């Protein structure tokens, strides 16, 4: 369990129950499959999404068992998308550990992701309402479309900020919105409160992703565990690039029509993005979403879980960048 | 629309409505995605599974709209599994047409499959009961496990007939069972009748897959559109191989420890399987399931759709082999 939860003993306990529930629901005759899913469950993710479900559940009529199921579904959906993302990205490592596709092969990873999707809907059918299932599958399809959009945009330098925001809204913000929304909705919060939680998740997700994308241009491998220039190398142009390239198209011209970038290209692009205000403008954009998130959190009913959500969001969005 | 439905005008019309429904529910802003799914929908499959949903629905209180949704879900689930199977098999062609992964890339195909899964659960949440969703997701996870089992068994010559039957039960029979079961259950048929339909689907599926696997040893590329020796080359040992190898382990010994087969190996294995009773025993096994299927169909209540199911099953299981 990530150490960020040490401070919140009850959340930590509930997350441990989520882990047990996920293990129980992914048991299967084939021990290799069971083992590889167990590795995923214990791979050291922050468990942010299930924690969000738990936190927002406490704003309504909290039902421990139901919340545990829903939180598990969200984390399993997240795991399924990560496994498939790693297939697509050809990723060797995730959270410092070998990925499913690198360890067991791409083929295996495709089916493990599918199997996890099925487990999610099986749990949902036992513990959620039809309305929740509809919202969950809607969100999941938006996440897929966000990923496809990112694929289709590779090495397309004609991106607008708007299309970038649209893409990360699906790719990242959607599942965070869904987490906070689901907990609230299934514990009987008012429509207004549910929507407020949805927006909080959206703004946190947008800020989080923009910060993550900035780190591709300024981070150091040791600090954030993410290699600088990784996105650029894959032809994924994020908002720092978009801002800088729109400001100084002439400087970026040589890179607009390439379909492969050398190490030297990547180094040069990072320099150009930094020199043309790409980082500054992106930080301003992240700040805008961060502020919106905190404004919305501040307007939540007063209780201990509001304070937890605020502290976790601070920790999440105040990363060094 | 496949010509097998020409004889059954009402089923044909209902299947056309299923096609329109699938198109409507996979519309999306990104025209490339929409287009590639449209190609899948019109790729010339037999539409057997949605037809099974329609046929068994007519044994209860037939509701055209509900049946159309459920039939579409089953066909979309089938499409999603095919897209992911093609990724895993590295398949260039399916039904004589270029596969999604060959045309648009593996990455794209992974997400298109995921997107189709999501659409299925979205439709289910609007048109089915929680009980149906639970059964559907259970079936889907069994299908995934069947596929993973097949992956894990590649180049493993220590297979038993039992483990083979278990694998094809998940991989093929499950979705046919589910099709017939879903139509019956959601139109309010008795539990007994629903179970009978489940068994009919199971026996048709088992016979169908065994016949298909025999064709890997005796078919001709022109007749069945399937290349002989394709499975062997991938290290997939099906029941003709298992029977023959268990009868004459010495003859097969040289192939037990290989992980790659040359064209000459494949030719030799086909010969050995034919000479050691592999085909004869497999035909007997297929006959056993075929007979069971017809016995169960004969015990269905008398109506026009019983006759249709019987004729379709005859057409399906009396392929030249």
**Set of chain A residues whose Cβ sits within 8 Å of the Cβ of B29:** 145
Could you please state the CATH topology (level 3) that the domain comprising B159-321 is classified under: Farnesyl Diphosphate Synthase (1.10.600)
CB contact under 8 A, A125 and B130: yes
pLDDT of the residue at A242: 94
The model's confidence at residue A312, banded by pLDDT at 50, 70 and 90, is: very high
**Set of chain B residues whose Cβ sits within 8 Å of the Cβ of A144:** 111, 114-115, 118
Q: Is the pLDDT of residue A314 over 70?
A: yes
- A83-87, B56-60, B279-283: least confidently modelled range: A83-87
On whether any CB of chain B is under 8 Å from the CB of A298, the answer is no
- In this complex, the residue of B33, B120, B122 whose CB is nearest that of residue A138 is B122
pLDDT of the residue at B159: 80
What is the average pLDDT across B58-83? 94
| Residue (of B29, B7, B28, B5) closest to B17 by Cα position | B5
**Tokens at residue A38, please?**
């167990």
Sign of the CA dihedral running B95, B96, B99, B104: negative
Say whether B73 sits in a helix, a strand or coil.
Answer: helix
Q: Is the pLDDT of residue B226 over 80?
A: no
CB contact under 8 A, A130 and B130: yes
pLDDT of the residue at B321: 46
pLDDT of the residue at A319: 60
| Residue (of B234, B76, B165, B114) closest to A109 by Cα position | B114
pLDDT of the residue at A221: 47
Mean pLDDT across chain A: 89
Q: Is the pLDDT of residue A59 over 90?
A: yes
The model's confidence at residue A88, banded by pLDDT at 50, 70 and 90, is: confident
pLDDT of the residue at A31: 85
Q: How far is B216 from chain A (nearest CA, A)?
A: 22
Q: How far is B53 from chain A (nearest CA, A)?
A: 21
Beta strands in chain B (DSSP E): 93-94, 97-98
pLDDT digits (tens, 9 = 90+) for A234-285: 888 999 999 999 999 899 988 888 888 888 999 999 999 999 999 999 999 9
On whether any CB of chain A is under 8 Å from the CB of B122, the answer is yes
**Set of chain A residues whose Cβ sits within 8 Å of the Cβ of B28:** 145
Residue of B nearest to A26 (CA): B141
Q: Say if residues A210 and A289 touch (Cβ distance below 8 Å).
A: yes
How is residue B299 annotated by DSSP?
A: T
CB contact under 8 A, A140 and B113: no
- In this complex, the residue of B33, B119, B152 whose CB is nearest that of residue A32 is B152
The model's confidence at residue A99, banded by pLDDT at 50, 70 and 90, is: confident
- In this complex, the residue of A88, A107, A111 whose CB is nearest that of residue B107 is A88
pLDDT digits (tens, 9 = 90+) for A282-296: 999 999 999 999 999
Mean pLDDT across chain B: 89
pLDDT of the residue at A226: 57
pLDDT digits (tens, 9 = 90+) for A109-133: 888 999 998 899 889 988 888 888 8
**Set of chain A residues whose Cβ sits within 8 Å of the Cβ of B30:** 145, 148-149, 152
| Residue (of A138, A150, A224) closest to A182 by Cα position | A138
Q: Tell the residue number behind the tokens 């979705």, with chain if given.
A: B175
- In this complex, the residue of B30, B122, B148 whose CB is nearest that of residue A149 is B30
pLDDT digits (tens, 9 = 90+) for A199-209: 999 999 999 99
CATH 1.10.600.10 fits A156-321, yes or no: yes
On whether any CB of chain B is under 8 Å from the CB of A259, the answer is no
| Residue (of A88, A74, A83, A72) closest to A152 by Cα position | A88
Q: Is the pLDDT of residue A321 over 50?
A: no
What is the average pLDDT across B274-290? 95
Burial label for A44, CB within 10 Å (0-12, 13-18, 19+), is exposed
- How many pairs of residues across A and B have Cβ atoms under 8 Å apart? 132
pLDDT of the residue at A182: 94
CB contact under 8 A, A147 and B111: yes
On whether any CB of chain A is under 8 Å from the CB of B118, the answer is yes
Say whether B245 sits in a helix, a strand or coil.
Answer: helix
Q: Say if residues B179 and B197 touch (Cβ distance below 8 Å).
A: no
Q: Is the pLDDT of residue B222 over 50?
A: no
pLDDT digits (tens, 9 = 90+) for A162-201: 999 998 998 899 999 999 999 999 999 999 999 999 999 9
**Set of chain A residues whose Cβ sits within 8 Å of the Cβ of B145:** 28-30, 33, 115
CB contact under 8 A, A114 and B117: yes
| Residue (of B319, B313, B320, B318) closest to B295 by Cα position | B313
* Spacing of C-alpha A207 from chain mean position: 11
pLDDT of the residue at B319: 60
The model's confidence at residue B95, banded by pLDDT at 50, 70 and 90, is: low
Q: Is the pLDDT of residue B259 over 50?
A: yes
Could you please state the CATH topology (level 3) that the domain comprising A1-128 is classified under: Farnesyl Diphosphate Synthase (1.10.600)
CA distance B265 to B259: 11
pLDDT of the residue at A184: 96
The residues spanned by each domain of chain A are 1-128, 156-321
pLDDT of the residue at A209: 95
CA distance B113 to A107: 14
pLDDT of the residue at B155: 76
- B21-35, B103-117, B263-277: least confidently modelled range: B103-117
CB contact under 8 A, A30 and B140: no
């Amino acid at each position: 369990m990530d150490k960020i939860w040490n401070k919140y003993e009850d959340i930590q306990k509930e997350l441990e129950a989520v882990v047990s529930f996920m293990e129980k629901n992914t048991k299967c005759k084939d021990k290799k499959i069971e083992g590889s899913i167990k590795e995923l469950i214990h791979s050291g993710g922050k468990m942010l999404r299930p924690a969000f479900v738990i936190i927002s559940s406490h704003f309504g009529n909290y039902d421990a068992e139901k919340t545990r199921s829903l939180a598990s579904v969200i984390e399993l959906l997240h795991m399924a998308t990560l496994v498939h993302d790693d297939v697509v990205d050809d990723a060797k490592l995730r959270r410092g550990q070998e990925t499913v596709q690198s360890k067991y092969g791409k083929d295996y990873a495709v089916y493990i992701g599918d199997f996890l999707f099925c487990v999610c809907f099986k749990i949902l059918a036992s513990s959620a309402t039809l309305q929740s299932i509809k919202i969950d599958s809607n969100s999941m399809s938006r996440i897929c479309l966000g990923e496809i959009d990112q694929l289709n945009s590779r090495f397309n330098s004609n991106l607008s900020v708007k299309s970038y925001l649209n893409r990360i809204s699906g790719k990242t913000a959607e599942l965070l919105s869904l987490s906070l929304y689901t907990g609230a909705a299934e514990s009987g919060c008012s429509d207004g409160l549910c929507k407020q939680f949805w927006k909080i998740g959206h703004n946190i997700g947008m800020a989080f992703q923009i910060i993550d994308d900035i780190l591709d241009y300024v981070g150091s491998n040791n600090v954030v565990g993410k290699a600088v220039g990784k996105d650029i190398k894959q032809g994924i142009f994020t908002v720092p690039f978009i801002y800088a390239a729109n400001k100084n198209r002439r400087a970026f011209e040589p890179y607009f029509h390439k379909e492969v970038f050398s190490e030297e290209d990547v180094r040069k692009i990072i320099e150009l993005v930094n020199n043309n205000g790409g980082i500054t403008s992106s930080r301003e954009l992240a700040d805008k979403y961060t502020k919106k998130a905190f404004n919305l959190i501040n307007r939540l009913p007063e209780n201990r879980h509001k304070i937890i959500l605020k502290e976790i969001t601070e920790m999440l969005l105040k990363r060094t960048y």
